[in-house]
Amino acid sequence: MPDLLMEKDGPVVVLTLNRPARRNAMTLAMFARLADAWDEIDADTDVRVCILTGAGEHFSAGMDLRAMAGDVDDGDDYDVKGRMEREGSDWIYDGLLKTRHPRVPVIAAVEGNAIAGGTEILQGTEIRVAAEGATFGVSEARWSLYPGGGSAVRLARQVPFTVAADILLTGRHLSADEALRLGLVGHVVPDGTALERALEIAATVAANGPLAVEAILRTLRGTSGMTEAEAFQFEAPL
C-alpha cells in the first residue's frame, strides 16, 4: 500500500499520509512523494484546493527517526538514493512545505497526534481543522534536535512570540482547544470528523473565483514580514 495516497474529486485533492501503523511517521520516500504531489497539483489547473490528512487515528508523529539517520526502506520502490544523488536534499523541505508553497490553498485535517514534523508541516498549510482529541507540539528539543521543518522561524509568526518560545524550548504538547485559542488552528470539531469538515471548507473555497483565491494566497504568503507600505506595493500588480 502506498505511503502517500492522492485522491482527486473534481477541484479538490486529498493527500493522505498512509503509515497508520507508525502513526504516519514520515520517511524520506514520503517527503519525496509529497514534493512530487505538490508539483502534480500545481500542474493541474483543474485543482483549486488540497486537503492534507493522515490515515487512521493520527495525523503524523513527525519524521521517522530511522529516516532522520539517513536509512532508506529497502522495501520501498521509490529511488530515494538516486534522487539524493541527482538533486541533493532540498526536496525534503519542499515536501514539508518549508521551501514550497503550492499554487492552491492547503487545508490540514488533523486527528490524534500532530507532533514534531506533524506540527511543522501543519504550519505550511493555510486552513487547519483539528479534532477535539488532537495533540500538537514541536518536540525536537526533547531529543536534542533542531526543528528543521521551519518552526524556529515561522511558529513565532503564527502565534505570539513568547508562546512560540515556550512551545519550542520546552517541547511541550498542546491540546486542540489551546491550539485554537492561540490561532494555530482555526476549527475544532468532534473526533472523527476533521476530514468531513475540511471537505466542507474545501467545497466553499473551490466554489470561489480561482484567480481571486490564487491572488489572495500570493499576497498572504508574499507580504509576511513586510511593512504595510511594502505590502501594498507587492499587491498592486495583482
Tell me which residues are annotated as active site. Answer: 120, 140
| Residue from 112, 188, 175, 114 nearest 149 by CA | 114
Dist. CA 179–CA 161, nearest whole Å: 14
The residue whose grid cell reads 468532534 is 190
Task: Output the furthest CA–CA distance in the chain (Å, rounded).
Answer: 53
Q: What is the Cβ-side half-sphere exposure of residue 2, based on CA atoms within 13 angstroms?
A: 13
Q: Within 10 Å of residue 232's Cβ, how many Cβ atoms?
A: 12
C-alpha of 110 from chain center: 10
**Cβ neighbours, 10 Å, residue 238:** 12
